[in-house]
Amino acid sequence: MNALITTLLRTAIHPGPSQPEPDLPGPLGRLLWEAQSLALLGARFYLANVFFSSGLTKLRDWSSTLALFQDIYNVPVLPPVLAAYMGTAGELVLPVLLVAGLAGRFAGAGLFVVNLMAALSLSADDFSPAAQWQHTTWGLLALALVLCGAGRWSIDRYSFGRITRSM
């Protein structure tokens, strides 16, 4: 059990590649590595802005948020009030982790689930093509963070070696 927890923790905080791809020629590999780091940073900040803003909107008018979850959103499995609390907490906590680059894969996976639940909870009539496009974009960016990690410019990158050596 301890080994499983250690493996999950290492996976959640792994920042992704720490050096350019060895298969590519020197300057090209370095350029792609820098571009990937910049793209991951941009994805982290963009997703954090979208979801944190949504969480703040829910907090500003909590009674309306509860009404939406009870009357409009059909969140699978969870009771509406619990879904409202969990969704809002995820939209406020996970973006902070993303901006810091702390547990980037975990935060990306969490926002992927929040986004998926938001998309699944809307009826087809309430889900316009523009909203579908936005949710698809957010889901793909969150999935990229899960697959690639938080990148070079993250707390994960600087703490990964220290944390994994102590395990």
**14-54 pLDDT tens trace:** 666 555 555 667 787 778 878 888 999 999 999 999 999 99
pLDDT of 91: 97
Report the number of distinct structural domains present in the chain: 1
pLDDT of 161: 62
Residue 87 lies in a domain: yes
pLDDT of 145: 95
pLDDT of 42: 96
Enumerate residues 6+ apart whose C-beta is below 8 A from 159.
13, 102
DSSP reduced 3-state for 61: coil
Residue 133 lies in a domain: yes
Residue 29 lies in a domain: no
Percent of the chain at pLDDT > 90 equals 53
pLDDT of 22: 59
Residue 28 lies in a domain: no
pLDDT of 40: 93
Under the banding of pLDDT at 50, 70 and 90, the label for residue 12 is: low
Scored b (16 or more CB within 10 A) or e, 122-131 reads beeeeeeeee
Instruction: Judge whether residue 11 has pLDDT over 90.
Output: no
Closest Cα partner for 33 from 20, 17, 42, 16? Answer: 20
Residue 75's CB: how many other CB atoms inside 10 A?
17
pLDDT of 17: 59
Question: Which residues span the domain enclosing 135?
Answer: 2-14+37-165
Residue 25 lies in a domain: no
Q: Greater confidence, 20 or 132?
A: 132
Instruction: Judge whether residue 3 has pLDDT over 80.
Output: no
Residue 52 lies in a domain: yes
